[in-house]
Amino acid sequence: MARPWETSAIAGYHCQYDTDWVADKTRWGLNIDATERDALAQQFADCPDRPITVTLAR
């Protein structure tokens, strides 16, 4: 999966792509570094405020 800020996700799909990115990182207990955090915050600014549901990996 390409990092959200390094890809031009299909118009209208970037919110879902970014949400999936965060859910995958959370699911597997992976950190989000400062670069990711800043890029995601900028991209999420255009997205509706919706909760993200995550099933943690075992």
Residue 24 pLDDT? 93
Q: How far apart are CA 33 and CA 13, in angstroms?
A: 23
pLDDT of the residue at 50? 84
Q: Tell whether 20 is covered by a domain.
A: yes
Q: Is residue 4 part of a domain?
A: no
Residue 38 lies in a domain: yes
Asked, for residue 51, whether it belongs to a domain, the answer is: yes
Q: Could you list the residue range(s) of the whole structural domain that residue 17 is in?
A: 10-58
**In the chain, how many domains are there?**
1
Query: What is the reported pLDDT for 25?
Result: 92
pLDDT at residue 10, as a whole number: 64
CB atoms within 10 A of CB 18: 20
Q: Which residues of 6-15 are buried (b: 16+ CB within 10 A; e: fewer)?
A: eeeeeeeebe
Task: Look at residue 3 and tell me if it is in a domain.
Answer: no
**Is 25 among the domain residues?**
yes
Is 41 within the bounds of a domain? yes
One digit per residue, the tens of pLDDT, for the chain of length 58 reads 556 556 665 667 888 888 998 999 999 999 999 988 998 898 888 888 888 889 888 7
